[in-house]
Structure 1
Amino acid sequence: MVTITTERATVDRWDDVQHSLTGGGDGASCQCIWPVLRNKDWNATNLDQRRDMFHDEIAAGPPPGIIAYVDGEAAGWIRVGPRARQARLINTRTIVAATSEPLDDESVWAVSCFVVRREHRGKGVNAALLDAAVEYAQDSGARVFEAYPVDTGGSKGHSNDLFHGVLTTFLSAGFRHTGDLKPGRPLVTRELSG
């Protein structure tokens, strides 16, 4: 039996954030900057610039995500925060068309990505990260939580295609399927109490 704990990402946990982003998938090259940049800005960056931007974002606060630890080892990451601060989300036509929430509303929070190291997959890390993200959003005064997971239909998908999370994880955490971005990509929401 493993013990999973979570911590909000602060600059003193930078090495843990970096460890979480390695070990499988695109996390190390993305540096979790993809959700906060529009395509033209993303395409103009290299890995070192992304890493510096991410470090600066974490150092400035508030924490843009949460780290999961499995038996004390940094094992996973989730980006979470106000949707309005994640430029890619509020400029994605399918999200804009599917949501009923104002795009500039800071009380609408969103999850945009998960990363779990290969050796820790299948242990419940994503569920623990999502639970911690909901708590963080609630503690921060969020009114509603949105996410844009992948509906795998019960089949196993390629890990690089599942960084948005899977629908079943969100439904198990109390989210409701409230719209669709496109086939296989639902919009899920969860109302949060103040």
Structure 2
Amino acid sequence: MTAVSIEPVTPERWEDLEGLFGPTGAYGHCWCAYFRRRAKDFSASVGCAQPERGDTNRETLRRLTVDNHVPGLIAYEGEQPCGWVSVAPREQYVRLSRSRSLRPTDPTEVGVWSLVCFWLPPRRRGGGLGTRLLDAAVQHARANGGRVLEAYPVDTVGGRAPSAEVYTGTVRMFEKAGFTCQPHPKSGRPVARLGLKDE
């Protein structure tokens, strides 16, 4: 693989991220806002009856970026954007706190960061870029005061899953990176966690 750099998404990189996601906002006008908005608000924003669907999601991500909240990391091959990972303090992801299947078991726990999404253009999948983005996300969360990094991968034991279903990553991917994966006590969905404190 050609040399790849991975950088925080700061205001000057908004246009790069916008270009990477393209006119459909990566996953069906999502603009990586699925976990950042309440379920009813997100559903309304991608309704098929709206010709401008996704505009509110795009604005959610743009506003975070231009307000210097760093919603994630972007990968570059040379100057060309080629991948994305959404990683930030868990409290930025409104849907997690309301989710029946992923609600924090200890909502008072401090210093928890969440990794909720990867986006790679089809031609970049399967070449190790996702793993590089994961490694960079761990480093980014640790460098910015995170005590734990949490993720919500898909268990693909028994076969491959369509790429649209594994945007949160796979259990195998996180376990190889040193995460511990346990079923959520309410839903049974895998939750991956990695301590970030220096030994």
Partners of 1:72 and 1:158 in 2: CA distance: 29
- The reply on whether 1:53 has 2:60 as its aligned counterpart is yes
Q: What is the aligned partner in structure 1 of residue 77 from structure 2?
A: 70
Q: What is the aligned partner in structure 1 of residue 94 from structure 2?
A: 87
Greater length-normalized contact order (CA 8 Å, ≥ 6 residues apart):
1
Deviations 1:2-53 (A, max 9, x none): 2222010012111221233249994361111111111111123232222122
- The reply on whether 1:145 has 2:149 as its aligned counterpart is yes
- The reply on whether 1:34 has 2:34 as its aligned counterpart is yes
Q: What is the aligned partner in structure 1 of residue 4 from structure 2?
A: 4
The two structures have a TM-score, normalised by structure 2, of 0.86
Contact residue 154 and residue 166 of structure 2 kept, 8 A: yes
**Deviation for aligned residue 1:71:** 4.3
Partners of 2:114 and 2:176 in 1: CA distance: 17
**Deviation for aligned residue 1:130:** 0.8
Q: What is the aligned partner in structure 1 of residue 195 from structure 2?
A: 191
| 1:166 aligned partner, one-letter code | T
Contact residue 100 and residue 187 of structure 2 kept, 8 A: no
Q: What is the aligned partner in structure 1 of residue 115 from structure 2?
A: 111
The two structures have a TM-score, normalised by structure 1, of 0.88
The aligned runs of 1:159-178 (5 Å cut-off) are: 159-178=163-182
Partners of 2:68 and 2:167 in 1: CA distance: 23
| 1:16 aligned partner, one-letter code | D
| 1:171 aligned partner, one-letter code | E
Deviations 1:35-85 (A, max 9, x none): 111111112323222212211111112201000123442111111111111
Q: What is the aligned partner in structure 1 of residue 49 from structure 2?
A: none
Contact residue 74 and residue 85 of structure 2 kept, 8 A: yes
**Gap regions ≥5 residues in structure 1:** none
Q: What is the aligned partner in structure 2 of residue 17 from structure 1?
A: 17
Deviations 1:97-126 (A, max 9, x none): xx44x3254511111111100111111111
* Alignment length (residue pairs): 190
Partners of 2:193 and 2:112 in 1: CA distance: 10
CA RMSD, 1 decimal: 2.2
From the two aligned structures, give the one with the greater helix fraction: 1
Contact residue 22 and residue 28 of structure 1 kept, 8 A: no
**Gap regions ≥5 residues in structure 2:** 46-52
